[in-house]
Structure 1
């Protein structure tokens, strides 16, 4: 039992160390096998963000302001990791004409027009949906979207080949399919508890992951850390819409 708890702690700290900027002890020993707990990290990020939004509403602020606070806390907790991936993906996919050029653009730390447009549209969509959820008291829906959008990432990593021989995704490795399946099942379970609904949201999350994976295969020959970031952000919006 002690070994199980120790492994659980290590995996969660490993996942949090990769997906957040929380000042936690460095526990990379969990490796990519810790990907099963990524929905738990989504639960943590979503709960902290919604908690901050809830405090704003309790203090008398509007749902619109609370929505801004929710998004701000999410970005602060993750360091904008996923949003950065989305911007790089948009720039690369539509700013380059060849696979090599697209990968080169995606690696560039500078942001281009496509990336800026993608971020504006994404934050507008997320803010609109989060505000609606908060205004109607459906706070669990916001958390569930954070959970399920991270639950599909191990599956993308397990099923889609790497687009390059280096980079974040390549360095982290590829989880086993059973780890990916466990992550998704866990995400579905948490989503059901948080929102009371899971079938449509689960199908939507899988659909987004499959669509962006196919696009990545066509454009750059596989997945990268940027692709995973884009999948998370787009899946979160799609799940919010579905729920």
Structure 2
């Protein structure tokens, strides 16, 4: 049994390890071992560790925001800055979410049965619907970020920081609301998120969003952003339930991009 004086240290070491695990799960950022509780050989305790996802999201998006802020002080157009920003974000995440969106688009639009759609989602090749979805999301993100840069200048970088945690946490609700669509997929293997961990993550993400966004763009736009993102996730959840009977890791990845785009659309209204 641990001594009382060591319990806070052990708890903080655990939180640090969970944050590192979430950064590694959601990005390609090279993180060394952070403390004695950070075991690189063990898979992250996803169901509990996601409570640290908002902090991990801030770490992942920080380089992207810095690029946007720095390039905003050059003579480059907002469109060029936004394009470089989106490309940087994609490289940092390893196209993690983009891959999910492409698979979902191909499966939902190209398959006729749940079994066929799940098989398409496991295929590493990208079809026509996936290609269109990838192109559409890149165009939308670039255009929306360019619009924010033109309207708010360097403050747009701060908006990207505020959006990132919520865009990553909100789609995890699909893993609670829907059953796993397959018995061997990522959504099944990582486990159902712990209710308290998800509640903490969502609360922290919402606080970060509300601490920044209303002050920059206004309360109405912040509310619109919530509404558009919620609408996009609701539509995705309904379609996933109808098409494959539940949720997969690809669906959650697609939901992350849809949430981000929905939030950015609301901020641009």
TM-score, length-scaled by structure 1: 0.94
Match of 2:230 in 1: 206
Question: d(CA) in 2 for partners of 1:143 and 1:4?
Answer: 27
1:155 has 2:173 as partner: yes
Gaps of 5+ in 1: none
Q: How far is the alpha carbon of 1:29 from its aligned partner?
A: 4.4
Asked if 1 retains the 8 angstrom alpha-carbon contact of 2:180 and 2:246, the reply is yes
Question: d(CA) in 2 for partners of 1:177 and 1:199?
Answer: 25
**Aligned CA distance change for structure 1 residues 230 and 157 (closer, same or farther; 3 Å):** same
Q: How far is the alpha carbon of 1:22 from its aligned partner?
A: 1.1
Match of 2:260 in 1: 236
Asked if 2 retains the 8 angstrom alpha-carbon contact of 1:10 and 1:30, the reply is no
Secondary structure of the residue aligned to 2:184 is coil
Q: CA RMSD in A?
A: 1.6
Structure of greater Rg: 2
Instruction: Name the count of aligned residue pairs.
Output: 243
Q: How far is the alpha carbon of 1:150 from its aligned partner?
A: 0.6
**Aligned CA distance change for structure 1 residues 3 and 199 (closer, same or farther; 3 Å):** farther
| Structure 2 counterparts to residues 35-184 of structure 1, below 5 A | 35-136=50-151, 137=153, 138-184=156-202
Question: d(CA) in 1 for partners of 2:21 and 2:62?
Answer: 19
TM-score, length-scaled by structure 2: 0.85
Match of 1:12 in 2: 19
Q: Which moved more, 1:197-206 or 1:16-25?
A: 197-206
Secondary structure of the residue aligned to 2:45 is helix
Question: d(CA) in 1 for partners of 2:91 and 2:241?
Answer: 31
Question: d(CA) in 2 for partners of 1:239 and 1:52?
Answer: 20
1:23 has 2:23 as partner: no
Detail structure 1 runs of 4+ shifted over 4 Å in the superposition: none
